[in-house]
Amino acid sequence: MNFQLTIEPINNIQSDLQIVLVAQKDLEHTFVQDKELLKKAGFKGGQDETALFLERDRLYVGVEKITADNLRTATATAMRTLVSTSYNHVSIASYLDETKSADMIRAMVEGFELGAYRFEKYKSDKRSNPVTDITISLEEYHGEILDIEACAHALHLGQITSEATNFTRDIVNTTPDDCYPDVMAHIAKDLAEEYDLHCKILKGNEIRKEKMGALLAVARASRHRPRVIHLAHKPKNPKAVISLVGKGLTYDSGGLSLKPSDFMVTMKADKSGGSAVLGIMKAVAQMNLPVEVHGFVGAVENMIGGDAYKPDDVLISKSGKTIEVRNTDAEGRLVLADVLAYAQQEVKADYLFDFATLTGACVVGVGNYTSGVMGNCDTPKNLVTEAAQCSGELVTKLDFNRYLKKTLKSEIADICNISNTRYGGAITASMFLAEFIDEDHRDKWAHIDIAGPAFVEHVWGENPHGASGAGVRLMLRLLENLSK
């Protein structure tokens, strides 16, 4: 999609269609040219409410209030509304909140790109969004003057961020027969070549040499061999060193603790954490952020067979801790335990974050649209929640407590891979991971459970049916904040 900024007034732009974002309080404002038609159409200016006047070549989209989040979802709604039309070139004016920030431009651009996303790889009749060109006038409806350089920079960041998010969505949406561990490794290699990233891929013997017994056990019954991916962006004199770890379960059948058939559908999305790490690394390289960023992905398939790991097995993790297996469907934390240990061995980071579709309990606790952030220390968790406020992603803290820690006790090993209670499952899973964080990183680590928003089977906000690319925009804002 091609974007252009102009200082020309919105009504002087020659485009096929003009998009007007309007709140209920502004329905009588002079910039609203179709007041009577809007009244006849029953348009009230509610968030994401639309009114398309084909005879006027104008699309009105409601916003409750001028905020980055509202503009993002409004422009995404505009793209979805126009998908069945033949408009190629659209124009839109600028909008500012009380901060007068060019971030409003970024939010609009992200909305356009994210709303235009369609995954049609497996459809015979493919239909792309007709809009190819978008002109944004720097004429703000309420007379504010926008800085064109700041707006151009915001537009650039918005494009990179949304393209990385859509890149991640594509990986997550791809079926397990077409995206297995070796495919994820090849995606990483291609990113490294295109964006000058350092890349290291561990295969079978190398993983065994690293003594990743927990990860190897999960992978054992699959015909697709596991891969451990390490991508790195290494600028000179970095302002911080960050490690990101992603759960890359390219498919999760549940193993011998087999999932019910209904719960097995959409398990291609269990690679969302690893896919997000790949998308983040792509964007970090494009932005050339002055932050050293390392992305680690444990790419594994959890299947059943004669060689499958079993409930009652005791696994020896990379850290040396022994793990009693009581449920083979709690496999993501086993993979992460070893990859987190490997990441800490390879990089002494200022902050360590992991992303995983780890628990259904997180979805039960906070819903489909919100990620849970957990850890030992408030500092990294606060970095995540602060970044969420401007990224468009929703995040909430879930606190550890000593009583839940006791539920992971094993009588025959150092720790059990599941809790002995059905309650607080998101927290106990994170507390399991905390056992594999070394002292150097103990207060620098946060776990982000993206099980809710990573894959939702309906349209919501700026997100389509299916993969949302959860974690990408969130972490990019955090890394940008650290680079200032």
- Give the residue numbers marked as catalytic: 259, 333
Distance from C-alpha of 274 to C-alpha of 261, rounded to nearest angstrom: 24
HEC-encoded secondary structure of the chain: CEEEEECCCHHHCCCCEEEEEECHHHCCCCCCCCHHHHHHHCCCCCCCCEEEECCCCEEEEECCCCCHHHHHHHHHHHHHHHCCCCCCEEEEEECCCCCCCCHHHHHHHHHHHHHCCCCCCCCCCCCCCCCCEEEEEEEECCCCECCHHHHHHHHHHHHHHHHHHHHHHHHHHCCCCCCCHHHHHHHHHHHHHHHCCEEEEECHHHHHHCCCHHHHHHHCCCCCCCEEEEEEECCCCCCCEEEEEEEEEEEECCCCCCCCHHHHCCHHHHHHHHHHHHHHHHHHHHHCCCCEEEEEEEEEEECCCCCCCCCCCEEECCCCCEEECCCCCCCHHHHHHHHHHHHHHHCCCCEEEEEECCCHHHHHHHCCCEEEEECCCHHHHHHHHHHHHHHCCEEEECCCCHHHHHHHCCCCCCEECCCCCCCCHHHHHHHHHHCCCCCCCCCCEEEEECCCCCEECCCECCECCEECCCCHHHHHHHHHHHCC
Decide the pairing of beta strands 227-233 and 292-302: antiparallel
Q: Is 198 exposed, middle or buried (0-12, 13-18, 19+ CB in 10 A)?
A: exposed
Q: Which residues contact 142 (CB under 8 A, 6 or more apart)?
A: 96
Q: Which residues contact 98 (CB under 8 A, 6 or more apart)?
A: none
CB 301 within 8 A of CB 195: no
CB 164 within 8 A of CB 110: no
